[in-house]
Amino acid sequence: MILPIVLCFLADFAPYFGLAALLMAFVIFMVVFIRSLLRNAAASRRRGLANE
């Protein structure tokens, strides 16, 4: 009974769902990228301290 309403709602917002999925993928990629950069920076800093 509620299914047609939900389908109409999804059809209305489908473009926004695509945009939101793209945005979420971008945010996740940025978080992973920044975390790997921070991990590399911390590891190189530790190596630098160990070399001194």
Put simply, whether the predicted model's pTM sits higher than 0.85 gets the answer no
Name the token pair of 39.
């991990």
What per-residue confidence (pLDDT) applies to 52? 64
Q: How far apart are CA 4 and CA 20, in angstroms?
A: 23
Looking at the predicted structure, is the pLDDT value of residue 1 above 70? no
Outline where the chain has alpha helix (H). 3-51
What per-residue confidence (pLDDT) applies to 35? 96
* DSSP-assigned letter for residue 48: H
What per-residue confidence (pLDDT) applies to 11? 79
Span 10-42, pLDDT tens digits: 778 777 878 888 899 999 999 999 999 999 988
